[in-house]
Amino acid sequence: MYKAFLIKYAEIAIKGKNRYLFEDALVSQMNHALKKVDGTFKIRKEQGRIYVETEGDFDFDEAVEALKCVFGIVGICPVVILEDEGFDKLAEEVIRYIDMAYPDKNFTFKVNARRARKNYPLESMEINAKMGERILEAYPGLKVDVHKPDVMINIEIRSQINLYSTVIPGPGGMPVGTNGKAMLLLSGGIDSPVAGYMIAKRGVTIDATYFHAPPYTSERAKQKVVDLAKIVAKYSGPINLHVVNFTDIQLYIYEQCPHEELTIIMRRYMMKLAEHFAKEKKCLGLITGESIGQVASQTMQSLAATNEVCTMPVYRPLIGFDKQEIVEISEKIDAYETSILPFEDCCTIFVAKHPVTKPSLNVIHNDERKLEEKIDALMQEAIDTVEVIHIEA
Ligand code: ATP
Ligand code: MG
């Protein structure tokens, strides 16, 4: 019965020129998301409203699912768009609408009219009262409840008339493309896909870097990261996933440095390499899934040691989250089942039994000197042999 959606987005945050940037990015992300859905969709911007209109048959559920992944959307309202042919005709349409949308005529409702076009002969309050009466006449089983109605019948009088009663929540946030680009350090774990999702939610375009250590990490571990990138890409749009061969660097650190410092030193080289690709791709920051105290490499001291090698801002959206809170988001975005697949990642293989939890920068600097001979060449080799995979959801 629906041929269109009315899209609600947060207007308060966007004023002046930014509004056009916001709306244009939103439309472009919506177009992208709907490309994969069965049907023909046309997106129309009009007077602070965005409409998705369809031609012919389309898959309603798929369309809603796709729109639920577009950041910036606050609500998705399946809408019936009517021409203004007088109040009586409108009442007929509303009654017909209720019949189709609510086969079971046993609920409370409220009419919420909004007269955006001031030359309409009735004021909003009058429309509410008169339409309420007509509805009650047609369906005596219904009741009005102005405080907590089961169904809110929204009637927006514009050049045309919008009639809707369902608001499907969108993901909120800002449309991707409105806030620059960042490089996500994406592992096969639970945290980093969530971190990427959260930063993309603020309108940031995402690229990703994964450190792969064959043969210690398998093809399936890499495939898992590709799958996770696909899940993040459902929300963020396309991701350039940089797969870096990290084995030789890890082995070299393992040979040269005290084992309790392996993880920290390794993480410093990960950051340096990620930053290299970030600069190449014109990113303005790095993103990790770190959270204070979660593991030895995420104490305040360890984070300081990791952070020290970066010249770009490092965004850590999960920094104050408990694991359970992260898991909840992971489940919400459908990443959890993939994240918990049991493939080794490159950090778990080289972890020491007793990693330092309070690394001293002096000690780390000293020990990193033991890498002087070969590390630059190995870094260059890792850069030269990177595999970039274009990921689309
Ligand atoms: P995650 O669940 O994201 O794997 P984690 O709890 O396992 O995180 P660490 O292994 O300490 O924590 O990693 C911290 C962060 O470093 C990750 O969230 C991710 O951003 C980055 N990271 C770790 N390993 C890799 C890797 N192999 N490739 C790319 N980034 C990585
Ligand atoms: Mg991990």
Is there a contact between 356 and 264 (Cβ–Cβ < 8 Å)? yes
Tell me, in angstroms, the distance from the centre of ligand 1 to residue 375's CA: 22
Is there a contact between 360 and 258 (Cβ–Cβ < 8 Å)? no
- Name the closest-CA residue to atom 16, ligand 1: 288
Closest ligand to C-alpha of residue 289 is: 1
Tell me, in angstroms, the distance from the centre of ligand 2 to residue 289's CA: 9
pLDDT at residue number 14: 66
Q: Which atom of ligand 1 is nearest the CA belonging to 346?
A: 27
CB neighbours of residue 66 within 10 Å: 22
Is there a contact between 7 and 73 (Cβ–Cβ < 8 Å)? yes
Question: Going residue by residue through the chain (393 aa), what tens digit of pLDDT does each one get?
Answer: 899 999 999 866 666 778 888 999 999 999 999 999 999 999 999 877 899 999 999 999 999 999 999 999 999 999 999 999 999 999 999 999 999 999 999 999 999 999 999 999 999 999 999 999 999 999 999 999 999 999 999 999 999 999 999 999 999 999 999 999 999 999 999 999 999 999 999 999 999 999 999 998 999 999 999 999 999 999 999 999 999 999 999 999 999 999 999 999 999 999 999 999 999 999 999 999 999 988 888 999 999 999 999 999 999 999 999 999 999 999 999 999 999 998 776 656 677 778 899 999 999 999 999 999 999 999 999 999 999 999 999
pLDDT at residue number 349: 64
Residue entry with tokens 């947060």: 10
Closest ligand to C-alpha of residue 339 is: 1
pLDDT at residue number 6: 97
- Name the closest-CA residue to atom 25, ligand 1: 187
Residue 292 gets the label, from left (phi > 0), alpha (psi -120 to 50) or beta, of beta
Q: How far apart are the first and last CA of the chain?
A: 29
Tell me, in angstroms, the distance from the centre of ligand 1 to residue 176's CA: 23
CB neighbours of residue 354 within 10 Å: 9
> Is the CB of 182 inside a 6 Å radius of any atom of ligand 1?
no
CB neighbours of residue 86 within 10 Å: 9
| ∠ Cα 336 340 342 (to 5°) | 160
Sign of the dihedral defined by the CA atoms of residues 157, 160, 161, 162, in that order? negative
> Is the CB of 317 inside a 6 Å radius of any atom of ligand 1?
no
Is there a contact between 237 and 176 (Cβ–Cβ < 8 Å)? yes
pLDDT at residue number 13: 61
pLDDT at residue number 346: 60
> Is the CB of 289 inside a 6 Å radius of any atom of ligand 1?
yes
Is there a contact between 237 and 32 (Cβ–Cβ < 8 Å)? yes
CA distances from 199 to 162, 202, 270, 314 (A): 34, 5, 20, 11
CB neighbours of residue 101 within 10 Å: 17
Is there a contact between 264 and 364 (Cβ–Cβ < 8 Å)? yes
> Is the CB of 290 inside a 6 Å radius of any atom of ligand 1?
yes
State how beta strands 49-55 and 143-144 pair.
unpaired
Tell me, in angstroms, the distance from the centre of ligand 2 to residue 170's CA: 29
CA–CA separation, 88 and 132 (whole Å): 13
pLDDT at residue number 315: 98
Burial readout 104-119 (b: 16 or more C-beta within 10 A, e: otherwise): eeeeebbbbbebeeee
- Name the closest-CA residue to atom 20, ligand 1: 288
3-state secondary structure the chain: CCCEEEEEECCCCCCCHHHHHHHHHHHHHHHHHHCCCCCEEEEEEECCEEEEEEECCCCHHHHHHHHCCCCCEEEEEEEEEECCCCHHHHHHHHHHHHHHHCCCCCCEEEEEEEECCCCCCCCHHHHHHHHHHHHHHHCCCCEECCCCCCEEEEEEECCCEEEECCCEECCCCECCCCCCEEEEECCCCCHHHHHHHHHHCECCEEEEEEEECCCCCCHHHHHHHHHHHHHHHHHHCCEEEEEEECHHHHHHHHHHCCHHHHHHHHHHHHHHHHHHHHHHCCCCCEECCCCCCCCHHHCHHHHHHHHCCCCCCEECCCCCCCHHHHHHHHHHCCCHHHHCCCCCCHHHHCCCCCCCCCCCHHHHHHHHHHHCCCHHHHHHHHHHCCEEEEECC
Answer whether the bond into residue 215 is a cis peptide, omega within 30°. Answer: yes
- Name the closest-CA residue to atom 30, ligand 1: 185
Closest ligand to C-alpha of residue 211 is: 1
Closest ligand to C-alpha of residue 228 is: 1
Tell me, in angstroms, the distance from the centre of ligand 1 to residue 96's CA: 55
- Taking only Cα atoms into account, the Rg of the chain, rounded to an integer number of angstroms, comes to 27
Tell me, in angstroms, the distance from the centre of ligand 2 to residue 217's CA: 13
Closest ligand to C-alpha of residue 266 is: 1
Q: Which atom of ligand 1 is nearest the CA belonging to 267?
A: 16
- Name the closest-CA residue to atom 10, ligand 1: 347
| ∠ Cα 360 366 368 (to 5°) | 100
> Is the CB of 378 inside a 6 Å radius of any atom of ligand 1?
no
- Name the closest-CA residue to atom 17, ligand 1: 289
pLDDT at residue number 10: 81
> Is the CB of 191 inside a 6 Å radius of any atom of ligand 1?
yes
